[in-house]
A and B are shown apart, each in its own frame.
Chain A
């Protein structure tokens, strides 16, 4: 965590430190020690690792949890001093954000019914477009910024937060994920018009 970062940027004493343990064995040691009992501090020996001029006079006992944090993300019990009620409300929120998908309706011109997909499962445009191709049994052309999708009469479009219809692929993936409200695969001349308006 932050402690380790500050430590490394300071005097690079790591090169000359005395430790218990074989040279080269570092993070893994700390991890096993810390995983023994989450509530307890690591033993004082581990704390000898952290040495920075200004810290030298401060007791070792306090240093334990933080040094291994980059690897184990160990948190010191009681720190930061936030009420558990508040911490729990963050965690439930984060879990909500992580687990719920972003489901958007996808319509295709000429298809009798719409589909719904979770765009969160895709890592980028290529995966999304491939999935759409498979779902609706069609092919999408090649994307270029200047000309949109070339080589097919289908163009994937989406409605954004402002209610405008946009061509899929213009904005960065993350921005697309957060602004896409629904999708429509346009067909034919209408689609061509959209692709050429640049």
Chain B
């Protein structure tokens, strides 16, 4: 092994893309460790507080692509207060000094400021790809800086971010010399964009494969864009509304008809259902369809559209499709692998909703289904058992019965047996979200059968500490556990504190853990940050150890308590 010159080793290691492989390689001997360390280009950090930027740079000095995740998952549902943390600025500042060759940055649930974006745009001459998912803190000014300064930008992908639109024309800031764009997604922006600038940008970027527009882009502009970019593979429309019998619409139909390259379709942020038939000619080519942001399309129209989409692998849709509509999906989309059904009226007692019937139909018709997110009015054990039998290949199974703690409406029993069947049958299950009425029994099943489970989300379930213990003891591959409104307390929390070093994080809110329990945990585990979020004023006086903790978030870390925690976060 030592006879190979390091250049050869490096060349060989270049073929290793998996970080698991690279981790293994770096353990072989000091020389391999050194070579691997200098040649690692891509790093994924699932919790930005698990390591400091300095430690990353010290360990891997020549990184070109970094992925960072910030806030805990439940921040998506307003459970984490606004200024909790997850700031990207220390990372960008550190990297400007040490990673001049940075090319890619992917951020999820982080706070990104305009200053950070400006700094990013000026500090990395080879910067190619910026992907922001569920981030906040920036405005279109920051985007303008990226557009103006990143001379080799290939990808600007903004997914579901909260962006403030300041007056200014960020899209116009792409210089005429920018011709390299491959992917541009600004669907989440609420404001207007300069349509002429957009058309010109598309026209001069021959490699553009993916384009997702926001609501301000009208149908006529879409048509012009499609004519300039016949090679798009992924299209997100903006506003899809026209006047009936208008010349513009007829022209559009002709353009769409010949648009053979699109495989992935989304958007329809505003849509006149009568316009949907214009899409039918390209439906057969679609492998991915996202209509979950399209308002006001009725079930019959959805059914007619989906009936044409025989090659769909991924479908995101609203529950107004109804059980009957899902039946049509089941009979039309035999290649379906991923299905997400979102509620169109989250707080209403819906008439436009799906039930267990739709899911059973899907399971019978779509044998390749492995990823599910399903919001529904109700679910039965019988249905879940059937689904488990029909679809043993689930890797992600997330079920959300809108009414918390709702039992099986037929038997009035908890849904333990149904979920039990799922975990028993789906041996490759990595992610699971529970809902409905559940006792400790479901956790027993999970602990015993869900061997590959990495992430578990629990709400309003369980009877006592035993439930949580079944999971902590049983699931050897558990990385993330998040619980809201559960009866689990200190006994469960403290039974096996070593477990938390094998996990990325644990979230518990509105449970029975006390301040004393959390303090005990923190004292035993110095490598775990135990953070309490309490928005009362009680933290200022001397709180009693018996006080129940509102929100607990603990995670393993190499670099101790974070220095940017706000007042309401108390690190024990």
B375 touches A80 (CB 8 A): yes
- Chain B residue nearest to A53 (CB atoms) is B412
A58 touches B160 (CB 8 A): no
B295 CB–A CB distance under 8 Å: yes
Q: Which residues of B contact A24 (CB under 8 A)?
A: none
In A21-64, which residues have CB < 8 Å from any B CB? 39, 41, 54-55, 57-59, 61-62
> B77 is contacted by which of A57, A73, A83 (Cβ under 8 Å)?
A83
Q: Contact mask B509-546 → A, CB, 8 Å, 1/0? A: 11110000000000000000000000100000000000
B98 CB–A CB distance under 8 Å: no
Q: Contact mask B378-415 → A, CB, 8 Å, 1/0? A: 00000000000000000000001011111100001110
- Chain B residue nearest to A181 (CB atoms) is B244
A81 touches B457 (CB 8 A): yes
Q: Which residues of A contact B292 (CB under 8 A)?
A: 86
Listed residue (B76, B293, B485, B486) with the most chain A CB atoms within 10 angstroms of its CB: B485
* B interface residues (Cβ-Cβ under 8 A, vs A): 74, 76-79, 134, 160-162, 188, 292-293, 295, 342-347, 349, 375, 400, 402-407, 412-414, 433, 437, 439, 457, 459-460, 462-463, 484-487, 509-512, 535
A78 touches B484 (CB 8 A): yes
**Contact A58:B463 (CB < 8 A) given known A77-B79, A80-B375, A83-B134:** yes
A-B contact pairs, 28 of them (CB 8 A): A2-B349, A2-B402, A2-B403, A41-B510, A58-B462, A58-B463, A59-B485, A61-B485, A62-B510, A76-B404, A76-B485, A77-B78, A77-B79, A78-B77, A78-B78, A79-B77, A80-B343, A80-B375, A80-B400, A80-B402, A81-B77, A81-B400, A81-B457, A82-B77, A82-B375, A83-B76, A83-B134, A84-B77
Q: Contact mask A1-22 → B, CB, 8 Å, 1/0? A: 1110110000000000000000
A83 touches B457 (CB 8 A): no
A2 to B348, CA, bound (A): 10
A2 touches B484 (CB 8 A): no
**Contact A6:B403 (CB < 8 A) given known A59-B487, A78-B509, A90-B346:** yes
**Contact A75:B347 (CB < 8 A) given known A57-B439, A58-B463, A85-B134:** yes
**Contact A6:B77 (CB < 8 A) given known A85-B162, A85-B188:** no
A66 touches B346 (CB 8 A): no
Q: Which residues of B contact A75 (CB under 8 A)?
A: 347
A3 to B402, CA, bound (A): 11
Q: Which residues of A contact B462 (CB under 8 A)?
A: 58
Q: Which residues of A contact B487 (CB under 8 A)?
A: 58-59, 61-62
- Chain A residue nearest to B81 (CB atoms) is A39
- Chain B residue nearest to A10 (CB atoms) is B412
Q: Which residues of A contact B406 (CB under 8 A)?
A: 2, 6
User: Nearest chain B CB to A64's CB is how many angstroms away?
Assistant: 9
> B346 is contacted by which of A39, A62, A78, A80 (Cβ under 8 Å)?
A80
Number of CB contacts from chain A to chain B under 8 A: 104
Q: Which residues of A contact B459 (CB under 8 A)?
A: 78-79, 81
In the complex, besides A6-B403, A84-B77, 13 extra interface pairs with C-beta distance below 8 angstroms are A2-B406, A39-B535, A58-B487, A59-B485, A59-B486, A62-B487, A81-B74, A81-B400, A82-B77, A83-B160, A84-B78, A89-B293, A90-B345
A3 touches B160 (CB 8 A): no
Q: Which residues of B contact A73 (CB under 8 A)?
A: 347
- Chain B residue nearest to A66 (CB atoms) is B404
> B160 is contacted by which of A79, A80, A86 (Cβ under 8 Å)?
A86
A87 CB–B CB distance under 8 Å: yes
> B74 is contacted by which of A62, A78, A80 (Cβ under 8 Å)?
A78
> B463 is contacted by which of A2, A57, A66, A81 (Cβ under 8 Å)?
A57
A62 touches B485 (CB 8 A): yes
A93 CB–B CB distance under 8 Å: yes
A93 to B400, CA, bound (A): 23
A73 to B459, CA, bound (A): 20
Listed residue (A55, A78, A81, A90) with the most chain B CB atoms within 10 angstroms of its CB: A81
User: Nearest chain A CB to B202's CB is how many angstroms away?
Assistant: 25
A79 to B402, CA, bound (A): 8
A57 to B511, CA, bound (A): 15
Q: Contact mask A88-125 → B, CB, 8 Å, 1/0? A: 01100100000000000000000000000000000000
Closest 3 CB pairs of A and B: A2-B403, A59-B487, A62-B485
User: Nearest chain B CB to A60's CB is how many angstroms away?
Assistant: 9
B404 touches A3 (CB 8 A): yes
B77 touches A1 (CB 8 A): no
A76 to B346, CA, bound (A): 12
User: Nearest chain A CB to B409's CB is how many angstroms away?
Assistant: 9
User: Nearest chain B CB to A59's CB is how many angstroms away?
Assistant: 4
B405 touches A3 (CB 8 A): yes
A78 to B484, CA, bound (A): 8
> A82 is contacted by which of B295, B342, B413, B439 (Cβ under 8 Å)?
B342
A194 to B511, CA, bound (A): 69
- Chain B residue nearest to A59 (CB atoms) is B487
B77 touches A85 (CB 8 A): no
A79 to B460, CA, bound (A): 10
A75 to B346, CA, bound (A): 10
Listed residue (B405, B407, B412) with the most chain A CB atoms within 10 angstroms of its CB: B405
A90 touches B79 (CB 8 A): no
> B486 is contacted by which of A62, A81, A85, A86 (Cβ under 8 Å)?
A62
A84 to B462, CA, bound (A): 27
A84 to B433, CA, bound (A): 18
Q: Which residues of A contact B295 (CB under 8 A)?
A: 93
A54 to B407, CA, bound (A): 9
A5 to B535, CA, bound (A): 32
A69 to B462, CA, bound (A): 23
A61 to B535, CA, bound (A): 17
**Contact A54:B347 (CB < 8 A) given known A3-B403, A62-B486, A86-B160:** no
**Contact A82:B485 (CB < 8 A) given known A54-B407, A62-B510:** no
- Chain A residue nearest to B402 (CB atoms) is A80
A76 to B77, CA, bound (A): 10
Q: Which residues of A contact B485 (CB under 8 A)?
A: 59, 61-62, 76
- Chain B residue nearest to A93 (CB atoms) is B295
User: Nearest chain B CB to A105's CB is how many angstroms away?
Assistant: 14
> A58 is contacted by which of B134, B161, B405, B457 (Cβ under 8 Å)?
B405
- Chain B residue nearest to A90 (CB atoms) is B346
> A61 is contacted by which of B343, B349, B402, B512 (Cβ under 8 Å)?
B512
**Contact A87:B403 (CB < 8 A) given known A54-B412, A77-B79, A80-B375:** no
- Chain B residue nearest to A77 (CB atoms) is B78
A79 to B457, CA, bound (A): 12
User: Nearest chain A CB to B55's CB is how many angstroms away?
Assistant: 31
> A85 is contacted by which of B160, B347, B463 (Cβ under 8 Å)?
B160
Q: Which residues of B contact A41 (CB under 8 A)?
A: 510
A55 to B79, CA, bound (A): 25
A57 to B78, CA, bound (A): 28
- Chain A residue nearest to B318 (CB atoms) is A90
